[in-house]
């Protein structure tokens, strides 16, 4: 980015869930929103994650922070309560979290346990629906919701295993939520970034191969970075994108079009 970004999102309030460190896609989103003038709320998974996330929240002058493990009853409600009290509204929601038990993730779909499948689906997909339910009443001027997907949702990617069906469900959820929330001028996007070296990605077997292949396949010849994803979300949150909803937006240098 050579030109400074104008504060086109000034006055907008964004909740960004999924920052673990400065390599997280969610951090790229929060930083892009802030650069475009929005105020952000950021969460950390637990006490262990807090020392890694809190300095980033300070850097981005996050107005609201707190713990959020979507598996723990009450934590999601608490963060939305804090938003209602402090801001009284919300414009942008980012769901950038995923989890699958390692044995289920690495063992192939055929051997995925019912518990592992349910856990992956709950944290990586249904939690987005829960967030959307709590966010929608606060999006009184309309709003934009984002969920992070991956190409493995609709193509078979080696070693992606259980996360393939889970991301397919996430993308379908975005479409259905887009239809249900459209009358309230709330737009819902699945974002499908190319592979990025993050902590979540380190759980995938042979991830380096995916990275190399992504660079080779991409018409633009490069892998993407977290700010590419962040600025795409920032654009989609602006009025310039107010007629776009429900689809999956690839941020992968075009790699998905190449056989």
Ligand X SMILES: NC(=O)c1ccc[n+]([C@@H]2O[C@H](COP(=O)([O-])OP(=O)(O)OC[C@H]3O[C@@H](n4cnc5c(N)ncnc54)[C@H](O)[C@@H]3O)[C@@H](O)[C@H]2O)c1
Per-residue x/- mask for ligand X, residues 86 to 105, rule CB under 6 A?
Answer: ----------xxxx------
Site string for ligand X, 175-214 (x = CB under 6 A): ------------------x-xx-xxxx-------------
Element (H, E) at 230: helix 226-237
150 catalytically annotated: yes
Q: Does residue 255 belong to the site contacting ligand X (CB under 6 A)?
A: no
Identify the CA nearest to 147 among candidates 238, 23, 236, 48: 236
Residues in the chain: 259
Does 69 engage in binding with ligand X (CB under 6 A)?
yes
Rounded Cα–Cα distance for residues 223 and 220 (Å): 8
**How far, in Å, CA of 251 to CA of 257, rounded?**
12
Nearer to ligand X by Cβ, of 36 and 120: the residue is 120
Q: Does 68 bind ligand X (CB under 6 A)?
A: yes
Nearer to ligand X, 9 or 16 (CB): 16
C-alpha torsion sign, points 93, 17, 99, 190: positive
What part of residues 128-167 is at the interface with ligand X (CB under 6 A)? 148, 150
Helix/strand/coil for 153: helix
Our finding on whether 62 is near ligand X (CB under 6 A) is: no
- Calculate the alpha carbon distances from 104 to 96, 111, 120, 152, 206 in Å: 20, 7, 9, 16, 16
- Residue nearer to ligand X on the CB measure, 49 or 244: 49
Among 45, 94, 139, 153, binds ligand X (CB under 6 A): 45
- Residue 27 known to be catalytic: no
Cα–Cα distance for residue pair 195/201, rounded to 1 Å? 8
Which pair of structure tokens corresponds to residue 237?
């949150």
* Binding footprint of ligand X on the chain (CB under 6 A): 18-20, 24-26, 45, 49, 68-71, 96-99, 123, 148, 150, 193, 195-196, 198-201
Active site residues: 150, 160
């Amino acid at each position: 980015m050579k030109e400074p970004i104008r504060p086109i999102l000034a006055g907008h309030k964004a909740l960004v869930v999924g920052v673990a460190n400065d390599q997280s896609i969610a951090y790229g989103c929060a930083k892009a929103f802030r650069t475009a003038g929005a105020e952000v709320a950021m969460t950390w998974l637990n006490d262990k994650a807090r020392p890694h996330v809190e300095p980033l929240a300070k850097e981005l002058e996050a107005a609201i922070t707190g713990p959020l493990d979507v598996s723990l009853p009450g934590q999601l409600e608490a963060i939305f309560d804090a938003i209602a009290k402090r801001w009284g509204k919300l414009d942008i929601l980012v769901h950038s979290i995923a989890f699958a038990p390692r044995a289920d993730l690495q063992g192939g779909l055929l051997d995925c346990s019912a518990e592992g499948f349910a856990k992956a689906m709950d944290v990586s997909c249904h939690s987005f629906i829960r967030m959307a339910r709590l966010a929608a009443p606060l999006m009184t001027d309309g709003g934009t919701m984002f969920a992070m997907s991956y190409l493995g949702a609709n193509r078979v990617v080696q070693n992606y295993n259980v996360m393939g069906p889970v991301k397919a469900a996430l993308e379908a959820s975005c479409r259905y939520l887009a239809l249900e929330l459209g009358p309230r001028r709330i737009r819902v996007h699945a974002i499908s970034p190319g592979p990025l070296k993050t902590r979540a990605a380190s759980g995938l077997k042979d991830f380096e191969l995916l990275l190399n292949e992504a660079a080779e396949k991409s018409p633009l010849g490069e892998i993407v970075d977290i700010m590419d994803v962040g600025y795409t979300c920032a654009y989609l949150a602006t009025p310039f994108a107010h007629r776009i909803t429900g689809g999956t937006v690839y941020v992968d240098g075009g790699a998905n079009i190449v056989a």
